[in-house]
Structure 1
Amino acid sequence: MLRAMIGSTQAKADIIPVDICVNMMIAIAWQTGIKHPNTTIPVYNCCTGHLGSLTWGKIIECGLGHLDTICMENAISCPHLQFTENKFRYFYLRFLQEVLPAFILDCYMRLIGRKPIFSKICDKIYKNVRTLDFFTTHSWIFPNDNSILLQNEMSEVDRQTFNFDVRDLDWSHYWHIYCLGAKQYLLREDLAHMPQCRKRNQRLKRLQNFLWFTSIALIVKIVFFKSFKFHRILIIFLRLIFSVLSTITKKIGFSSKK
């Protein structure tokens, strides 16, 4: 039910897989105990630093791309998420794509005699997501020079066994495994049902497109064919735009002749 978030697609998302953290901890313990047992322990930042190029926009691109093939069994809509830095646009998108559908689904639940739950779920998602606003709209670069020096002191075999170089990460493959793990272990869904889930996702896409086109067609019909006043206002507005464009064109042409 999450369709919109406040954030910048260009902001850095300093996300580190837990395997990287564990490998770095092992390497730090080795260096501290073997290489420098009597010196001051340096500070290591397990982060992408200036080496990483992972942004929130790339996460959305990779995540939604894999969710088209790794579909969920009980999905009620096609996965979609967009970031916006404009709060007015965010609340507009949230009302249109989250609050209104949740209200309609709750009305349907009441009609069939079941407890409405979607509006409450929508509110919980909203409260949790808003706590991330500060992090999805800002970027930080933490120095990881000590981590790079640690990699250089390790042997080639150790670097391959306990690799924590974020430059070697294939983020597309990582999010593919992430989506598979969430489906299998978090949602406890059987991966053998994937073909049926994909067919369901295709039906949801067609239904969603049909509803959007139908809504737009109804709005156009009501506004343009039923409201005579609005039709006249629209014509006057278009004429005004045409006259302004004509004036600007004439001025540009006059100045170019000079």
Structure 2
Amino acid sequence: MSLCEWYANRMVLLTGVTSELGRVLLEKILRCLPNVTVCVVLRSQNGLSIEDRLKKIFASPGYERLKQEMPNAISRVKTFEGNLLYDNLGLSDKDKASLKEVSVAFHAGGPHDTVLEYCQELPKLKSIALASSIFRHRGLIMENLQNEKIPELPVALVRFSFVGPAHKEPKPGFVEILKGPTALMVGAGFAYGNSSFQAEIIPMDIAVNTMIAAAWEVGISNGRKPMTYNAVSLGCTWEDLIKNNRRASWTFPYPTFGIRGMTSIGPLHWILVLLLEWLPSVLCDIVLGLCGRKQRIHAEYKRVRNALQALKPISSRSWSVERNRVYLLQQRLTAADQDVFPVTAEIDIEAYLLCAAAATQKSCVNEDNLKIIRIINLFLLYAPVVFVVAYIASRTLLSHE
């Protein structure tokens, strides 16, 4: 049975929908599995009800395509007040009765113990797709449980590396949050690490496809033992990303004095960041302050530094990961399902980085910061020319005198 046929008319449970992965997963299910009803567990927060929080998710740029193609898709989402830290997810008896028809569960973020405990009470459950991280492990990361406490349930444990900008969906390069890999990819700052190591980044659309497909494979197998899938990364090194982002960082520059590159030499990294990133940021803010403008460039510098700091322990070591099961999963999908839910992809790195830089500039950049950096870059670009022209003109005038 094909993936789309198996999912038809099912009710699925989604927890962790407010995470980056969860939001993209919800959009993909609604857009590509039109007969599926999604039950979302949320909690009221900061004065917003669960309905308000769902509407806020739907208002994000990642849902523009869905709203154009399926304007009534939100009607297939049912919201339930709950909390992942509570027994039975903090659901009321009435809500638990409403969820008895759930046959597939997706957990996209947050603690999973209570989610797995609750799923044992679902009488029609066929599979659970559980998001995890390969960075929790050391040594060879194999395709089996490694010190993970998973009960005897039909679980697809999907391990991810860094989740990066989208390859194609919901639109090429789509990103909403500036994280370490994205900051490196768009040339926002100089990173610490070994550039010859594999870049452990997976595009977010490939990540959600892997979760959907893994849940399908576990469901049709009718097994009760957990299966582990180590999702496929970009397939290039950090150095490949840096070399191929020249066009992206020039066409869609990030509004900092960040320099492209990576080094594993601590003192060199510190000196370059200090002189070429921190110092220009501080000087720029001083000038802005003297001109009566808001000082904002150093704050952006710190934002990028904080993002790149999370990259340091990952890019400083090599990761050995078995990924045979995901490649076999791709082969098991029908040709039609492979087109809609690819779990592996051949990616043009330069084009991918260009789309990511454009999306980052649109979603993660303050427009005023961008204008300031553009003015400074133009000044730095043309100042030598102006100086030379002025020098030649002055020498010419003096010679005539």
The AA in structure 2 aligned to 1:146 is R
Distance 1:158-1:89 versus aligned 2 partners, 3 A rule: same
Match of 1:37 in 2: 222
Q: Secondary structure at the match of 1:43?
A: strand
Q: Which has the higher helix share?
A: 1
Match of 2:354 in 1: 176
Give the superposition deviation at 1:63: 2.5
Percent of aligned pairs with the same amino acid: 23
CA contact (8 A) 2:189 2:305 kept: no
Query: Distance between the aligned counterparts of 1:207 and 1:201, measured in 2?
Result: 10
The AA in structure 2 aligned to 1:169 is I
TM-score of the pair, normalised by structure 1: 0.64
The AA in structure 1 aligned to 2:362 is Q
Distance 1:76-1:144 versus aligned 2 partners, 3 A rule: closer
CA contact (8 A) 2:256 2:297 kept: no
1:60 matched to 2:242: yes
Q: Which structure is higher in RCO with an 8 Å CA cutoff and minimum separation 6?
A: 1
Distance 1:94-1:184 versus aligned 2 partners, 3 A rule: closer
1:203 matched to 2:347: no
The 5 A counterparts of 1:1-258 are 2-34=188-220, 36-48=221-233, 53-71=235-253, 75=255, 80-166=259-345, 168-187=346-365, 203=378, 206-207=381-382, 210=384
Query: Distance between the aligned counterparts of 2:208 and 2:273, measured in 1?
Result: 38
Q: Which has the higher strand share?
A: 2
Where in structure 1 do 4 or more consecutive aligned residues deviate above 4 Å?
A: 199-202
Give the superposition deviation at 1:201: 8.7
Distance 1:43-1:81 versus aligned 2 partners, 3 A rule: same
Query: Distance between the aligned counterparts of 1:188 and 1:114, measured in 2?
Result: 15
Q: Secondary structure at the match of 2:227?
A: coil
Q: Secondary structure at the match of 2:241?
A: helix
Q: Secondary structure at the match of 2:342?
A: coil
Distance 1:108-1:203 versus aligned 2 partners, 3 A rule: closer
Q: How many residues align?
A: 199
Distance 1:110-1:205 versus aligned 2 partners, 3 A rule: closer
TM-score of the pair, normalised by structure 2: 0.43
In the alignment, structure 1 segments of 5+ residues that lack a partner are 190-195, 215-258
Q: Secondary structure at the match of 2:232?
A: coil
Query: Distance between the aligned counterparts of 1:105 and 1:93, measured in 2?
Result: 17
Give the superposition deviation at 1:107: 2.5
The AA in structure 2 aligned to 1:44 is Y
Which shows bigger deviation, 92-101 or 59-68? 59-68
Give the superposition deviation at 1:147: 1.0
Give the superposition deviation at 1:89: 0.9
The AA in structure 1 aligned to 2:378 is R
CA contact (8 A) 1:9 1:55 kept: yes
In the alignment, structure 2 segments of 5+ residues that lack a partner are 1-186, 389-401
Give the superposition deviation at 1:37: 0.9
**CA-to-partner distance for each residue in 1:59-104, whole Å, 9 max, x for gaps?**
22223321222346xx465x63221111111121112112221232
Match of 1:256 in 2: none
Match of 1:251 in 2: none
Query: Distance between the aligned counterparts of 1:122 and 1:69, measured in 2?
Result: 20
The AA in structure 1 aligned to 2:197 is A
**CA-to-partner distance for each residue in 1:214-242, whole Å, 9 max, x for gaps?**
9xxxxxxxxxxxxxxxxxxxxxxxxxxxx
Superposition CA RMSD, Å = 3.5
Larger Rg: 1
Match of 1:228 in 2: none
CA contact (8 A) 1:4 1:94 kept: yes
Q: Secondary structure at the match of 1:80?
A: coil
Query: Distance between the aligned counterparts of 1:147 and 1:203, measured in 2?
Result: 47
Q: Secondary structure at the match of 2:191?
A: strand
The AA in structure 2 aligned to 1:45 is N
The AA in structure 2 aligned to 1:186 is C
Distance 1:188-1:112 versus aligned 2 partners, 3 A rule: closer
Give the superposition deviation at 1:114: 4.1
